[in-house]
Amino acid sequence: MRTPENCRDLSHRRRDIRAHTNPEGEHDLNGIDYVEMDPEDEQMTTIIVFFLGQAPDINVENVRIDGGVRVRNIEVLEVHPCLNTDPRKDDCMRIRVHPTGDFSVYTLRLVNAEGGRPTDEPLDGFDPRYAQIDFSFKANCPSDLDCLPVGCPPKILPEPEISYLAKDYASFRQLILDRLALTMPDWKERHIPDIGIALAELLAYVGDYLSYYQDAVATESYLMTARQRISVRRHATLVDYRMHEGCNARAWVAVETDQNLPQDPNQPLDPRQFYFITGHNDALPFRTQLLMHDELRNIPPGLYEVFEPIIPQGQTRTERRLQFYAAHSRIRFYTWGNRE
């Protein structure tokens, strides 16, 4: 699909208009370069139009001004070409209108005339893209807005050569000491109790903390890089998705015992006073089935995992008791004659 001419890059189009010629070698294409308000007209009713070549021979019927908010239907009164004798410069044209426009944007169009009235067709010999232009009647008016005053530009000071790859405490400390060695060559103290070293290390510590905080914020800002559960939950909340809080791992445990525990059925076991652990591929030095909590003090926690017994739902705190029966150490199932 071919891209329309007015949708492509127009940086070369102005040069093509100036250089365009007919088979006889005569320049046959024109366009509007820019417009400005006549600074000598205090009423702001004179528009100066500059062309991409010679000024065309037109009348007031060939000029149409559209747009405006408070002031519309601008009438064109006079058209006077201002020819330029220098062949290296383009011509211009003075257009006097009534009344003057408001602060909104207007569009000046050069169109063909039919029956003494302007039409919607661009003027013959004009490029369609440059047969019209937007402008404002109040472009040269003083404004009451608090604009930045135009004055002398600020003096450009030499910037220090700083390595922006410093991200941790050691690199920040070295960066500060290198900078101080350049700005304070007479200070050569490097002992830790020195106040200068103490301040440098304090600044390095603050820089290391802020650097970590900056990296953490940038990491947790995106769902694909977030490392904390609370960050993922907040990202999910933005799309109205409520993430579950999750639960611990659960497993079925078969307990074998040769006697009922506890032996007194009126005093059941409190599940908060015991737990199950894994042997972690027999890494524990103990081979007994029952261990005391003190026997695990010198064992690294990474060698085993802890599973706490689950209390049946609906029981109160006083009802949270468990009992182990020797008769339940092995449960026989009927297998339908070993057929299933």
pLDDT digits (tens, 9 = 90+) for 192-242: 889 999 999 999 999 999 999 999 999 999 999 999 989 999 999 999 998
Reported as a single tens digit per residue, the pLDDT across 113-158 is 887 788 888 888 888 888 899 998 877 666 665 555 555 667 788 8
User: d(Cα 219, Cα 226) in Å, to the nearest integer?
Assistant: 6
The residue type at 68: G
Question: Over the chain (340 residues), what is each successive 10-residue block's mean pLDDT?
Answer: 47 78 78 87 87 85 89 89 76 89 89 84 87 84 59 74 87 92 87 90 95 92 92 92 83 85 76 81 66 82 84 65 84 73
**Beta-carbon contacts of residue 338 (< 8 Å; ≥ 6 apart):** none
| Beta-bridge partner residues of 96 | 46, 78
On the 0-12 / 13-18 / 19+ scale of CB atoms within 10 A, 52 is buried
- What is the full DSSP assignment across 234-273? HHHHHTT-----------------SS-BSSSTTSPBPGGG
Domains assigned to the chain: 10-18+26-135 (2.60.40.1220), 169-238 (no CATH)
pTM check: above 0.75: no
Please state, in angstroms and rounded to a whole number, the distance separating the CA atoms of residues 191 and 204: 16
Residue 151 pLDDT? 53
Residue ranges of the alpha helices (H) in the chain? 13-19, 169-183, 195-220, 229-238
Quick one: angle between helices 169-183 and 195-220, nearest 10?
Answer: 130
- The DSSP string of 8-49 is S--TTHHHHHHH-B-TTS-B--B-EEEEEE-TT-TT--EEEE
Distances (CA, A) of 8 to 13, 15, 171: 10, 15, 50
